[in-house]
Chains A and B, each alone.
Chain A
Amino acid sequence: MALLSKAAVLLGKELRTEFRSRELLTTTVVFILTIVVLFSFTFDPSVSESRRFGPGLLWLAFLFAASLMLQPCFLREQTNDTLGALRLSVSDPFAIFLAKLAANTLFLLFTQVLLLPVFSILYNVPVLAAFPQLVLVMFMGSLGLSVTGTALSAISAQARMRELLLPLLLLPLLTPVLIASTEATAALLIPNPAMRWDWLGFLLGFDVVFLTALWLFGEYLLEE
């Protein structure tokens, strides 16, 4: 319980700093928007074609955006050695990871929900029919991105060439998330939307596996 309340305090700090500067959110939204526009040149964005390529396009854009958005996650904590202050204040370092991955999940989900209508208008794919289901899929996908991404940003923050390294470490690891989220999203964008609970269950499995791994091994990443 102490773990959760401390994580909540820290989550409050993450949200507060982000909403003060809005640096991460604005850059991520613009980045995804750019990809969505550029993608329209690579195929004929008619309704049927968009239904075929759209879900993959969206998730690929989210994956790239996440690998950029997660960069500063732990790097920022090195500037004034605030990571040290956090470690002195919190007895279980998992609280630090928990707060950060919750914040990242919320940021990603926010950008996704914001960009979904834009995507819908630009590519003529109706999304309102299954909007709540889409949000659920996006939440599970974002959680998967954030759990692994937060852990790997703690890794890449300790290496050289970290800007390039994080996507390289993260993207192959996210293959299962890309496949499952794309398939589940695709099934919700067809004329008769259907919830693919099997893929959603798969995403849940992914999230649980890596959350457990982070719980077991995360603290080693923060020690000196």
Chain B
Amino acid sequence: MTPASFSPTGIRFENIDKRYGGLYALRRVSLEISAGECVAFAGRNGSGKTTLLRIAARLARPSSGTVNFLSGSQEKLETQPTAGFVAHATMAYDELTAEENLLLFARLQGIAQPAARTETLLREVGLVDRRNSLVRTFSRGMRQRIAIARAMLNEPAVVLLDEPTTGLDPQGASWFAQTVRQLRDSGRTILMSLHGESEVSALATRAIRLDAGSVVADTRTGANFRSILAFANA
């Protein structure tokens, strides 16, 4: 991806609780993620992975607790940057073309040169040929490309990926792994929720397992690392 025009940013979750109708989706989650880490979240459906990522993206508000973005020296940032967020849904309009989608969100985000930025991203995700096609006609893999491009519009220092490989064919998955590798190597902080071991999970530098809304395992190395990810299949 484009050369780094962001400052490395970490995230600190402090005592995050999220209740839906009195039920806990997340319970007292405290995590410190340093700038540049590539974190894989594993856990069953309903373990709270998606909720945690949506809270980090500031789409959902925690019932209590705080999320802070930290600059290199672990100081809280004055203005909270928006993380790039790729959800399982495309987050793009079916009735608009790939280019129109990116232009729309670029303008909404107040990006300096929306047309130029759109152009760059279309090229980077390999959608230049299909720029004038409606997203409705896209395959799952192409939808994922447009989703990535949308998330990278404002050159975020933190990228959140919510089950990004689900439903991708092998080529799509390997393109995606390649992209994640580039993002990681450019120094971006990556948080992703995954199902099982894959090409993408191999890129993780840290594995965290959630169960019933709590962190039950958190490791950077060792045999444990693989078991956490493999266990996610359960």
Contact = CB atoms under 8 A, between A and B. Distances in A.
Direct contact of A and B (CB under 8 A): yes
Interface of A: 2, 6, 9-10, 13, 16-17, 20-21, 79-82, 84-90, 223-224
22 contacts: A2-B110, A6-B107, A6-B110, A9-B108, A10-B104, A13-B104, A16-B100, A17-B93, A20-B95, A21-B95, A79-B89, A79-B94, A80-B90, A80-B93, A80-B94, A81-B87, A81-B91, A82-B92, A88-B57, A89-B108, A89-B109, A224-B61
Given A17-B96, A224-B61, A90 B108 contact: yes
Nearest to B94: A80
Interface of B: 54, 57-61, 82, 85, 87, 89-96, 100, 104-105, 107-110, 150
A85 B90 CA distance: 9
A88 B216 CA distance: 30
Q: Give the dominant DSSP class at B's interface.
A: loop
A88 B91 CA distance: 10
A223 B18 CA distance: 13
Contact of A6 (B85, B89, B92, B108): B108
Nearest to B109: A89
Contacts of B95: 17, 20-21
Given A82-B91, A82-B93, A224 B60 contact: yes
A85 B94 contact: no
A21 B95 CA distance: 8
Given A20-B95, A80-B94, A82-B91, A88 B104 contact: no
Contacts of B59: 84, 87-88, 224
A80 B108 contact: no
Q: Give the dominant DSSP class at A's interface.
A: helix
Contacts of A17: 93, 95-96
Given A6-B107, A80-B91, A81-B87, 4 more contacts: A9-B108, A81-B91, A89-B109, A224-B54
A4 B12 CA distance: 34
A80 B92 contact: yes
A86 B93 CA distance: 11
Nearest to A81: B89
A68 to B, nearest CB: 20
A88 B82 contact: yes
A99 to B, nearest CB: 10
B35 to A, nearest CB: 21
Contact of B91 (A16, A85, A223, A224): A85
Name the residue among A9, A86, A89 with the largest chain B CB count within 10 angstroms: A89
B96 A13 contact: yes
Nearest to A77: B93
A42 B32 CA distance: 71
A79 B57 CA distance: 19
Contacts of A13: 93, 96, 100, 104
B105 A85 contact: yes
A84 B104 contact: no
Nearest to A7: B108
B186 to A, nearest CB: 21
B132 to A, nearest CB: 13
Contacts of A89: 105, 108-109
Contact of B150 (A9, A85, A87, A90): A85
